[in-house]
Amino acid sequence: MGTWEAVRRGRLLIALLVAAAAIPPASSAAATTLPKKAKASSPPQLLSELPVHAGRLVPSSVVFPIYGDVYPHGLYYVVMNIGDPSKPYFLDVDTGSDLTWLQCDAPCVSCSKGPHPWYRPKKSKLVPNGDPLCAALYSGIAQDENSDQCDYEIQYEDRGSSLGVLIYDAFSLRLTNSSRAGPILAFGCGYDQQSAVQDASAPTDGVLGLGTGKVSVLSQLSNQGVTKNVVGHCLSGKGGGYLFFGDDLVPSSRMTWAPMSRIGSRNYYSPGPAKLYWGTQSLGAKQIEVVLDTGSTFSYFEAHPYQAFLSAVKSDLSKTPLMEEFDDSALPVCWKGQKPFKSVSDVKKYFKTLALDFVKGKRAVLELSPENYLIITKHGNACLGILNGGEAGLRNLNVIGDISLQDHMIVYDNEKQHIGWVRAACNRLPKSGTSSL
């Protein structure tokens, strides 16, 4: 993926499609290293020091420090140690897609220079075409029955994509119960990446897909008994935060919960339809379908709710000293004051709370303070971090991205099929927290 120099280049990594990939012809470098007839083997067994009770593994949790911010970097990422011997890789945290992938020296057809050397695959670790995870990846899309490897192509809403093959390798983890695990997980070896922003370098080595699908790292860890099928994150507005797998860190009280809702055939995390409120003012009778996506830097509303929201904001600001600023390239809608702003605290008195009332939950309201939808740019302007999804290519979908998830602990509990949130101090790691090795 490209370098996120300006915040308006913020990524939108909600997955559009995972499909059978057209593998380069035999004359290409990628095909000579990973030939279509390469014999793929079954995955090795779980390598672990996990405690066993009554003959079964006892699930634990694992915590990863999160790095990055909304502005100016435009992404949050974690460090994952992969391979044997393990090597560190920076992965973009993405709850809007299932597939985890690394830029892969197979050799690489189209890759960007990343923080670390490209991952080097081995033929013996190819996931066979008949593997259940390969079938889950295709989700009913016709496969190439003549191939002995699992080829993929994943496309994202921001016009980025990754083309490659599925492979197995070890992930080195230290869990909260002080045990260690080296589960063998399937992920993408991406040898052809395309991005809407073509730069010489990339801030991460790949994407950590945490969606609800069977191919996600979270689902695989749960199936192997390493952790429960629960993932949570806490993104700090000051930068950083933490990510966790398993339920050991889930608060026993204070959480607001809403049942998970299915949106078509997509493996998105959705608390279901919501009503929008600007302060106490309803922004329309129509409910909107909402997805929570850490792979999106900003939030996106469909054209109608976006215009209703923007009109309400501008109506309020017409009675204030703030003036609209049209020359800040960071984001489409910005305001300036008599002097440059230093933080959202300088302007928050002019803005209201934006609330999403999820109708399927019991008093399930997600309140977004000005810090959850405004940024202060390097020019000292206040810019709106909720964008027009129609202009970004979104249809019948509203995305709550990083900016609006900041300073909340968000929990996606696939065991109980509900999503929870609570305001939290995300700049401090939990006391019981550890990280990958």
Are 80 and 91 in contact by the 8 Å Cβ rule? The answer is yes
For 383, the token pair is: 């810019």
Q: CB neighbours (10 Å) of residue 53?
A: 7
Are 400 and 299 in contact by the 8 Å Cβ rule? The answer is yes
Q: How far apart are the first and last CA of the chain?
A: 25
Alpha-carbon distance of 333 to 312, in angstroms, equals: 14
For 57, the token pair is: 């593994």
Choosing from 92, 94, 192, 248, the catalytic residue is 94
**Which H helix or E strand runs over 237?**
none
Are 65 and 236 in contact by the 8 Å Cβ rule? The answer is no
What are the residues facing 245 on neighbouring strands?
62, 231
- DSSP 8-class letter at 313: H
Choosing from 92, 293, 328, 413, the catalytic residue is 293
In 145-271, beta strands by DSSP E: 151-156, 161-170, 173-174, 180-182, 184-194, 206-209, 230-235, 241-245, 256-259
Coil vs helix vs strand at 322: coil
Alpha-carbon distance of 217 to 187, in angstroms, equals: 8
What amino acid occupies position 356?
Answer: L
Torsion over CA: 94, 69, 436, 108 (sign): positive
Buried b (16+ CB within 10 A) or exposed e, 246-270: bbbbbeeeebbbbbbbebeebbbbb
Coil vs helix vs strand at 309: helix
- Does 192 qualify as catalytic in the annotation? no
Q: DSSP readout, 151-175? A: EEEEEETTS-EEEEEEEEEEB-EE-
- Does 316 qualify as catalytic in the annotation? no
State the Cα angle at 296 between 101 and 337, rounded to 5°. Answer: 145
CA dihedral 83, 89, 92, 98 (to 10 degrees): -10
Calculate Rg over the CA atoms of the chain: 22
As annotated, the active-site residues are 94, 293
